[in-house]
A and B are shown apart, each in its own frame.
Chain A
Amino acid sequence: MGLALSKLPRLVRRERASMPMMLIAPFAALGLAVLTNLVLYGMLGKNPLIVLHAMLIEPFLSMYSFSEVLLKASPLLLIAQGLAIGFRAKVFNIGAEGQFVLGAIFASAIPVWYPNITGVWVWPLMLLLGALGGLCWASITAFWRVRLNANEILVSLMLSFVAIQVLNYLLLGPWKDPMGFNFPQSVMFPLDAMVPTLIPGTRVNVSLLLALALSVVAWFFVQRSFAGYKLEVGGLAPRAARYAGFSQSKAIWISLLIGGFAAGLAGAAEVAGPVGQLQRSISTGYGYAAIIVAYLGGLHPIGIVLSSFLMATLYIGGDNAMVTAGLPIAAVHVFQGSLLLAYLILATFVRNRLEWPTPHGEQGA
């Protein structure tokens, strides 16, 4: 029965993962994903080189498209930094998408209820409210995980679908713009309810600076703070955390609340930024893409800054490719997915090596 299995090689953990390999892995993954996808594009009857040019080169050719990359990068960066803190502690919050939506809803409450509101404090308050919204949504997951040991992956993921229904309900009912010709969207936000633009003539706004600043905070939290250390121990060796008396429930709460806070903030910045009103399509899968960003960045704050820009490039490049090369949107998602897959495979081999069974080692003790 076990005969066939015993002939297969086993993964054996390396004594030490090599640092250069860890740094090369994301780039190698990108290369691998590009190669695989070029073959797929070829099979679709598209010219792979044109697609490649559209996806990876065009975003850097004009100021406008580059500014769009920066615009996309900031929510990805925010969400991924929050998620990575949880992932390091082995708390798997997969529901950033829902927390993002709740952030957008909470932030929209102010301009929806007070459409004529003015004041410089309006947009900061909206961002704060949005962050709290994401935090509240994530706290549902934390509560059930701590209380009933309900799996946080499932709960947070399912809550994302609930969040989208909440959004639908609001936009089809109480929050629908009365002057909006029955479209499922809220009123347009007043100027003071919008995050100020950073570069004139583009849509890049202050939230990019916020995301970068929070990345620095995340670095300090992960590398230098005692709270971050406790989370790390809890993720690496739960029994050591118990031995030291670090509370596991606290780790779950902190991880989920940070993740929810960051995702909610990103959601708020999105409605109060490029979108300017609450719509059904406020998220184009940022919450899920950020999971890829977090892992691609090695769950390290600096790595995540780089990977979020890469992912944003792929978003914009993917749009270009749809226009110039007539690529279906599914192809863009396939690219994202294959990128994560390639990285996870490579990361496995950075940490482990293959060991072939010795010809007569099977019958040991």
Chain B
Amino acid sequence: MTTPLLSLRGVSKSYGQVHANTAVDLDVAPNAIHAILGENGAGKSTLMKLIYGVESPDEGEIFWQGEKRRIASPSEARKLGIGMVFQHFSLFETLTVVENVSLVVPGTKKELTDKIIQFGEEFGLKVDPLSHVHSLSVGERQRVEIIRCLMADPKLLILDEPTSVLPPQSVELLFETLRRLAERGVSILFISHKLEEIRSICTHATILRSGHVTGNVSPRDFDTHELAKMMIGRDMPETIPAKPMPRGLKQLELANLTHIMEDPFAVSLHDVSLQVREGEILGIAGVSGNGQSELAELISGETVLPPSEGERIVMMGQDVSTLNAAARRKLGFAFVPEDRLGQGAVPELSLTKNSLLTAHSKGLIKRGMVNLSKATRFTNECIEAYDVRTPGPEAEAGALSGGNLQKFIVGREIMLEPKLLFVNQPTWGVDIGASAAIRKRLIELRNQGCAILVISEEIEELFELSDHIQVLNQGRLSPRFKTSEIQPEDIGRHMISSAEDVA
């Protein structure tokens, strides 16, 4: 066996009481596309920070090309030949591509421009060096980040959840690039929790579960179910089928809604039409930042339409355009927002007090006073029925993990017995076990006749949940597709505006 490019032996890192990584061993071979697979909070990011020199390990050793090294800072990591593309890009939007590159790479503009074009052809990283970053799609921006790393001629490239922001077509292009890079001798560390992707591109996978390595496998030898089991340490909850439902009443309707935002950085909505009926789940696909938060605000009632704009949002047969969130809830509307802390829940308050936020209508208030025993009972029911892992109803919401808090909020909203439920990013940042549980609940609720609207960035999720899918792109909503009659690639085509990403 050849010497690994990078080896970790017994690496541990703790933050106070939290053991983010415990005795992690890792070997990355030259030319490998190596996946680090794990749920949110399994310690993937911490491990990458240790390799990239952002943090230093409490214990353990790091070997680079067989030599023991202490990587004390990102600049040292770069000197060794380690590059990293973060999930959130660090590009200046008002500068051109080549200007952004020249900020970190020495050389004249002419040389850099040539090099960008050369990389583009060599690795399938096509991007115009002279265009401004703000005019680029997410996929193109990611290419700029990768090019910037490649300029330093790295031997190892770390990509943190690179596909989470990309439409399917761009994902294929990225994979093609990664394969070519691996052929030319660049090893790739690929962080992800998406099993299908890992099986399709990676040659090795190291699986992390709560900071420990639980598997070192060749991902193609296992099916996704087995990989998931290694990742979460138990079997996945079974999915329940969506049963055929009779055509029910329209519980939500938007007809040609146009809403122009004053804020230049917000996305204006144009001509948006959708309807959700009883016993139906409508999924809204799209890369985030295409009007999802604006649409969510309008539907939830956090933003109220001015009276002059007339009848545009109809819920349960009533015009609710000018009603605030509380008034819409009275009609039987419930909402799970995108942000759990600070929007869906108040971090400093107990779970019981967080139940009151929306469940006050369930008889928890009597003559203006809070009925504490009833509120506690409601909270206990929610904790039990939705498997929220917490010491009890008195725990502060901020102390719960993301997945548990999401289960609590979804549970709270479902317990309101809504006629119309709107869920924005149901499983964003939620571990795979909790995600499956949440999706199961949503389908159960649909089977009971509730109308459900789901906004999600994850196409697989929408295909699992929805009866129909529409795509939001630059503030415009596509026509409605029946999920059973369409492929993820078709949805992907609608997710990207012009041909730039399909190319």
Find A239's partner among B327, B328, B339, B396 (CB 8 Å cutoff).
B339
Given contacts A227-B368, A360-B73, contact A244 B357 (CB under 8 A): yes
Contact assessment for B345 and A365 in the assembled complex, using a CB-CB cutoff below 8 Å: no
A225 to B74, CA, bound (A): 53
> Of A49-57, A97-105, A148-156, A229-237, which stretch is located at the interface?
A229-237
Establish whether residues B353 and A229, one from each chain, have CB atoms under 8 Å apart when the complex forms: yes
Bound-state Cα–Cα, A245 to B301, Å? 8
CA distance A226 to B73 in the complex (A): 52
Candidates A226, A229, A239; contact of B342 at CB < 8 Å: A239
Q: Which of B331-349 contact A (CB under 8 A)?
A: 335, 337, 339, 342-349
Stretch at the interface among B53-61, B149-157, B204-212: B53-61
Given contacts A236-B346, A240-B345, A360-B56, contact A229 B72 (CB under 8 A): no
Tell whether A364 pairs with B74 under 8 Å between CB atoms, given A236-B346, A245-B329: yes
Q: In the complex, which residues of chain A have a beta carbon less than 8 angstroms from the beta carbon of B399?
A: 15-16
* Contact yes or no, A361 B325, CB < 8 A: no
Q: Once the chains bind, are B54 and A365 in contact (CB under 8 Å)?
A: yes
* Residues A225 and B55 in contact, CB atoms below 8 Å apart: no
- The answer to the question of A243 belonging to the interface, with a C-beta cut-off of 8 Å to chain B, is yes
For chain A, the count of residues having a C-beta within 8 Å of the partner chain is 26
Q: Which residue, A227, A240, A364, A365, has most C-beta atoms of chain B within 10 A?
A: A240
Alpha-carbon gap, A225 to B370, bound state (A) = 6
Give the contacts of B8-58 with A (CB-CB under 8 A): 49, 53-56
- Whether A225 contacts B368 in the complex (CB less than 8 A), given A15-B399, A240-B357, comes out as yes
* B326 pairs with A244, CB closer than 8 A: yes
Of all chain B residues, the one with the shortest Cβ separation from A365 is: B86
Q: Does B259 contact A (CB under 8 A)?
A: no
B300 within 8 A of A: yes
B365 close to chain A: CB less than 8 A: yes
Which residues on B sit within 8 Å (CB–CB) of A226? Answer: 356, 360, 365, 368-370
Interface string of A325-365 (1 = CB under 8 A from B): 00000000000000000000000000000000010110111
| A226-B365, A239-B343, A240-B342 known; A363+B75 contact, CB < 8 A | yes
CA–CA, A162 and B300, complex, Å: 43
A36 CB-CB contact with B under 8 Å? no
Contacts of A281 in B (CB 8 A): none
Are the CB atoms of B54 and A364 closer together than 8 Å? yes
A6 at interface, CB cutoff 8 A = no
Chain A 214-234 against B: per-residue CB contact (8 Å), 1 yes, 0 no?
000000100011110100110
Closest to B16 in A: A15
Q: Are A244 and B370 interface neighbours, CB within 8 A? A: no
Measured between beta carbons, the chain B residues less than 8 angstroms from A363 are 54, 73-75
Most buried by B among A220, A225, A239: A239
Mask of B63-87 contacts with A, CB within 8 angstroms, 1/0: 0000000001111000000000010
Residues of B within 8 A of A236 (CB): 346-349
Is A247 interfacial (CB 8 A cutoff)? yes
Give Cα A197 to B245, complex, Å: 75
- A246–B75 CA distance with the chains assembled, in angstroms: 49
Is B235 at the interface (CB under 8 A from chain A)? no
Residues of A within 8 A of B271 (CB): none
Q: Which residue of A lies closest to B90 (CB)?
A: A365
With A226-B365, A363-B74, A365-B54 known as contacts, the answer to whether A240 contacts B344 (CB < 8 A) is: yes
Interface size class of B (residues with CB under 8 A): 35 or more
* Closest chain A residue to B398, Cβ basis: A15
Q: Which residues of A contact B268 (CB under 8 A)?
A: none
Candidates A220, A233, A243; contact of B325 at CB < 8 Å: A243
Q: How far is the CA of A246 from the CA of B361 in the complex (A)?
A: 13
Query: Would A243 and B335 count as touching, CB distance under 8 A?
Result: yes
B489 at the interface (CB under 8 A from A): no
Tell me which residues across on chain B come within 8 A of A358, comparing CB atoms.
Answer: 55-56
The reply to whether the CB of B324 lies closer than 8 angstroms to some CB of chain A is yes
Q: Please tell me if the beta carbons of B396 and A16 are within 8 angstroms of each other in the complex.
A: yes
- CB-contacts of A92-125 with B (<8 A): none
Chain B positions within 8 Å of A227 at CB level: 368
A contact residues around B54 at 8 Å (CB): 361, 363-365
Cβ contact within 8 Å between B326 and A240:
no
Question: Are A224 and B369 also in contact (CB < 8 A) when A233-B357, A236-B348, A237-B343 are?
Answer: yes
Q: How far is the CA of A360 from the CA of B343 in the complex (A)?
A: 35
A242 within 8 A of B: yes
CA distance A361 to B49 in the complex (A): 10
Question: Which residues on the B side are within 8 Å of A246 (C-beta)?
Answer: 326
Partner of B346, one of A225, A240, A360: A240
The chain A residue sitting closest to B323, CB to CB, is A245
- In whole Å, how far is A329's beta carbon from the nearest beta carbon of chain B? 40
User: Given that A226-B365, A364-B54, A365-B54 are known contacts, is A243 also in contact with B72, CB under 8 Å in the complex?
Assistant: no
Q: Is the CB of B369 within 8 A of A244?
A: no
Output the least CB separation between B152 and chain A (Å). 15
Whole-angstrom distance between the Cβ of A216 and the nearest chain B Cβ? 14
Expressed in whole angstroms, the minimum distance between the Cβ of A264 and any Cβ of chain B is 23
B358 touches A (CB below 8 Å): yes
Q: CB-CB < 8 A to A239: which residues of B?
A: 339, 342-343
- The residues of A that contact B88 with a CB separation of less than 8 Å are 365
Q: Which residues of A contact B356 (CB under 8 A)?
A: 226, 229
Chain B residue nearest to A233 in the complex (CB)? B346
A241-258 contact mask (Cβ, 8 Å, vs B): 1 or 0:
011111100000000000
B347 touches A237 (CB 8 A): yes
Q: Which residues of A have CB within 8 Å of B302?
A: 242-243
In the complex, the chain A residue whose C-beta lies closest to that of B339 is A239
Nearest-CB distance from A305 to chain B (Å)?
22
Q: Which residue of A lies closest to B353 (CB)?
A: A229
Asked whether A243 lies within 8 Å of B55 as measured between CB atoms, the reply is no
Complex: how many Å from CA A225 to CA B367? 9
**Which B residues are CB-close (under 8 A) to A244?**
325-326, 357-358
A243/B344 in contact, CB under 8 A: yes
Which single residue of chain A is at the shortest CB-CB distance from B303? A242
Bound form: Cα–Cα A50–B90 in Å: 64
Q: A239 CA to B53 CA in the complex, in Å?
A: 36
Q: Tell me whether B337 and A243 are in contact (CB under 8 A).
A: yes
Complex Cα spacing A225 to B347, Å: 20
Partner of A245, one of B75, B327, B342: B327
Residues from chain B with a CB closer than 8 A to the CB of A224 are 369-370, 372
Q: A245 and B326: CB pair below 8 A?
A: yes
Of all chain A residues, the one with the shortest Cβ separation from B17 is A15
Per the bound structure, the CA–CA distance linking A290 and B349 in Å amounts to: 27
Q: Which residues of B contact A229 (CB under 8 A)?
A: 353, 356, 370
Give the chain B neighbours of A16 by CB distance below 8 A: 396, 399
Which of B49, B328, B346, B399 lies at the interface centre, i.e. has the most chain A CB atoms within 10 A of its CB?
Answer: B346
Complexed CA–CA distance, A190 and B300 (Å): 59
Query: How far is A276 from B33 in the complex, measured between Cα atoms in Å?
Result: 87
B74 cross-chain contacts in A, Cβ below 8 A? 363-364
Distance of A227 Cα from B367 Cα, bound (Å): 11
Chain A residue nearest in CB terms to B346: A237
Assess whether A243 is in contact with B73, with CB atoms less than 8 Å apart. Answer: no
Interfacial chain B residues near A361, Cβ < 8 Å:
54-55
Q: Shortest CB–CB separation between residue A224 and chain B, in angstroms?
A: 5
Given A16-B399, A226-B370, A244-B358, 6 other A-B residues pairs in contact with their CB atoms under 8 A = A237-B346, A239-B343, A240-B346, A245-B329, A246-B326, A365-B90
14 intermolecular pairs with C-beta atoms under 8 Å apart: A220-B369, A226-B360, A229-B353, A233-B357, A236-B349, A237-B347, A237-B348, A239-B343, A243-B300, A245-B327, A247-B324, A360-B72, A361-B55, A363-B73
User: 4 closest A-B pairs (Cβ-Cβ)?
Assistant: A245-B326, A245-B325, A364-B54, A237-B346
